[in-house]
Structure 1
Amino acid sequence: MNRTDRLYALVEELRAVSPRPRSARWLAHRFEVSSRTIERDIGALQQAGVPIWAETGRTGGYVVDRAHTLPPVNLTAAEAVAMAVALHRLGGGPFTEAGTTALRKLLAVMPPADAAEARRLAGRVHLIGGGPAAPVPAAVAGAVTARRVLRLGYADRAGAATERVVEPLGFLGNPWHWYLLAWCRLRDGLRAFRVDRIGSVTTLPEPVTRELRPGELDIPQHIVRQLTLA
């Protein structure tokens, strides 16, 4: 998550629990950054005019004036794709059509560049069946969105630890697991890394320029569904 997205998310987190406070430590854990980073972000929001104040004491923390803040109207590209994945998991449920309509309305009010980026990001997500419920590490998800090379600490199926430098290209989900689809520089080829076997993630400054071609997935095409936005 980049800083701009985190600033919006901080305000929304504080709005959601207002008038209860959130401590810097709690927010740091939530957004996977240091408490000092949270304090700097809160200071930047206060300087921008967001009505946030600190409550002291053992149960204190930061509070936002809910009556004088408005939620953002637009989704980020990653948020739009998250909604599309959630809708896919609804299957044939009673609210599938309503959810698809809601997503279409939200896409319609997104800036064209953001909507285009959301569709590009959705094109990197491939699903088999309903897709898994298992979480994806934030650093991995962020690298696919930001198109940055990763250094992974990874355990293979035998449990042996390896270090890989990879170019993330997308995700594949089946009913049990998420896999990071990436070009592995060690193996000089496309590999699928099961995300629950990824022990550490370091984002490198080098951008990813490679694209995943449909024929590179060694899976029958009729089994894999590429995620699309309404």
Structure 2
Amino acid sequence: MNRTDRLYALVEELRAAAPRPRTVPWLAGRFEVSERTVQRDLQALMQTGVPLRSEPGPYGGWFVDKAMSLPPVNFTAEEAIAIAVALAGAESGAPFAGPARGAMRKLTAAMPEAAIASLRLISRQIRIGAEPVPADVSAAVERAVREHQVIWLHYLGGDGRESQREVEPAGLLAHRGRWFLIGWCRSRRAVRGFRLDRIQEARTTAEQAPHRDLATLLDVDSAAPAILADLTDD
């Protein structure tokens, strides 16, 4: 068993046994490796974000905190590669790129070597271009969408004019290689789309935003043509 397969099997063993802990000597015997190797494997898993916990004492050991992890899902090699390729496409210009990179590390840690080799080959054939978005702007937009909070924007329009807006976010839209924050602009009292790479500064507020359905706001009979044409910088 190679190290990648052992790490995956180690997580599954601890998950299946939870909440009963497994000791390092027990795990070393189970996987026919040294206790030192098991300890290194446990540290490596913790660094990738696996929610491992340990209990001291004669009846203690290691276990996976089920309350902080997703249940195991068995993917075929093709499915795992498809997911990994999609995650690999998340660049600095895409929302939630940071969590996507973390998910990518976890997924590849559980993939067999042959699948990883295929992923490397395919990923060289895929390029997703996007304008870079400052990390603080991206984080604020992600939080506003995720937690339904009103967001304050310092925005640079396509005509070069700057403005300050309060926006009730409805969601995110990718169009022609650009990412847009779609929401209800309180200044214009209308639906607007804000290109993420044109947001100069963004801050979430403590105010909860009313629920606004993205599909409704983008209805083809209302605001979608203007938004998709990038005519929303007034």
TM-score by length of 2: 0.41
- Pair member with larger Rg: 2
The higher relative CO (CA closer than 8 Å, separation ≥ 6) is in 1
